[in-house]
């Protein structure tokens, strides 16, 4: 042992520091405790997430039909996806749809959160009303939209014709652009309430003293919002945006009900394309390959969002 090491040990002894008998023993014990505590959760994740995911990957490497025998086809399903115009179109369409709705959902949700974050009288009722569309659910609202978007009897056309914006005979659901616009408006109305709740919870957790200090320093409302609220709300914003983007990528109900993917396949989302391939198309192997690609794309986007929006840990 070198003289310097001996000196260090004696200094530790004088300071009353006791090295563990086996330094690794404590950390090993901690590791075991940690493993024991997380084991139930890990088991559940393994059974209900990892095993199905792995089995899905396995199916994607076969020609698994809806019914009947199957065999291993390697990467043939993935290769065919590269040349599958309908699948590629559905990915592009879903990306466009996600890009269109994400920012409005966030902006509207943020504005509403600012409006309802205080405890003024009536805000509870207002919060409830804004959150109501999320509680009612997108399936019900999509069916309502089908009725309200009818060319000669729906309320959308009635209101627009009274405002002299449209003729009142617009066939919203059978034109790609109009149908997409209608669905985006519906989804923004549906999802803004959830964003509002997430951001409002984050805003209410910011200490009031920080705003008082900002006011003392002469900060305007906008400055306080920009320099106090936004930085401290970073994680809530990240969470709401991630939920919003994942939800948009996995969109199915509204397209299935309102347009059925039409006209043609022009409003077919990725998940709808997967469903069409697996059930009516009876090609579960190919549909699984599509699902794996979707999982990878969503995973990558979520990872990037985390990196950008979470920033350095406190």
Residue ranges that bind other proteins, judged by CB under 8 A: 65-70, 86, 143, 146-147, 149-153, 169, 171-174, 259-265, 268, 272, 276, 278-283
Name 273's Cβ contacts closer than 8 Å, sequence gap at least 6. 86, 87, 90, 261, 265, 290
Q: Are 127 and 198 in contact (CB under 8 A)?
A: no
Supply the minimum distance, in Å, between the C-beta of residue 260 and other proteins: 4
Supply the minimum distance, in Å, between the C-beta of residue 248 and other proteins: 20
Supply the minimum distance, in Å, between the C-beta of residue 68 and other proteins: 4
Residue 123 or 150 with smaller CB distance to other proteins: 150
Supply the minimum distance, in Å, between the C-beta of residue 251 and other proteins: 15
CA distance linking residue 85 with residue 76, whole number of Å: 16
Residue 57 or 210 with smaller CB distance to other proteins: 57
Cis ω on the peptide bond leading into residue 263 (within 30° of 0)?
Answer: yes
Residue 182 or 292 with smaller CB distance to other proteins: 182
Residue 78 or 211 with smaller CB distance to other proteins: 78
Residue 30 or 79 with smaller CB distance to other proteins: 79
Supply the minimum distance, in Å, between the C-beta of residue 290 and other proteins: 16
Residue 116 or 257 with smaller CB distance to other proteins: 257
Q: Are 175 and 183 in contact (CB under 8 A)?
A: no
Residue 171 or 296 with smaller CB distance to other proteins: 171
Supply the minimum distance, in Å, between the C-beta of residue 96 and other proteins: 18
Residue 56 or 104 with smaller CB distance to other proteins: 56
Supply the minimum distance, in Å, between the C-beta of residue 261 and other proteins: 4
Quote the Cα angle for 269-275-281, to 5°.
120
Provide the CA 161 distance to its chain's centre, in angstroms.
Answer: 36
Q: Are 271 and 92 in contact (CB under 8 A)?
A: no
CA distance linking residue 129 with residue 67, whole number of Å: 47
Supply the minimum distance, in Å, between the C-beta of residue 161 and other proteins: 13
């Amino acid at each position: 042992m070198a003289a310097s090491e001996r000196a260090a040990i004696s200094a530790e002894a004088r300071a009353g520091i006791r090295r563990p008998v086996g330094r690794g023993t404590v950390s090993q014990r901690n590791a075991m405790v940690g493993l024991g505590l997380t084991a139930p959760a890990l088991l559940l994740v393994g059974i209900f997430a990892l095993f199905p995911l792995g089995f899905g990957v396995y199916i994607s490497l076969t020609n698994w039909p809806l019914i009947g025998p199957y065999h291993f086809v390697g990467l043939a399903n993935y290769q065919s996806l590269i040349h599958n115009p309908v699948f590629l179109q559905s990915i592009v369409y879903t990306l466009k749809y996600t890009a269109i709705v994400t920012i409005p959902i966030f902006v509207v949700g943020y504005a509403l959160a600012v409006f309802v974050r205080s405890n003024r009288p009536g805000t509870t009722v207002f919060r409830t009303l804004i959150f109501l569309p999320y509680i009612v659910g997108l399936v019900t609202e999509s069916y309502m939209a089908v009725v309200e978007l009818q060319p000669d009897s729906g309320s959308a056309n009635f209101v627009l014709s009274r405002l002299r914006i449209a003729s009142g005979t617009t066939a919203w659901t059978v034109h790609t652009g109009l149908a997409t616009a209608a669905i985006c408006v519906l989804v923004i109305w549906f999802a803004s309430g959830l964003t509002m709740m997430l951001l409002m919870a984050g805003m209410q957790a910011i200490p009031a003293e920080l705003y008082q200090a900002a006011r003392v320093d002469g900060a305007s409302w906008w400055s306080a919002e920009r320099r106090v609220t936004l930085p401290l709300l970073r994680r809530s914003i990240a969470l709401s945006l991630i939920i919003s983007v994942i939800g948009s990528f996995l969109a199915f109900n509204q397209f299935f009900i309102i347009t059925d993917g039409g006209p043609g396949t022009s409003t077919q989302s990725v998940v709808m394309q997967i469903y069409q391939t697996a059930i009516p198309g009876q090609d579960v192997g190919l549909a699984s390959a599509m699902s794996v690609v979707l999982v990878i794309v969503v995973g990558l986007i979520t990872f990037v969002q985390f990196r950008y929006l979470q920033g350095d840990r406190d």
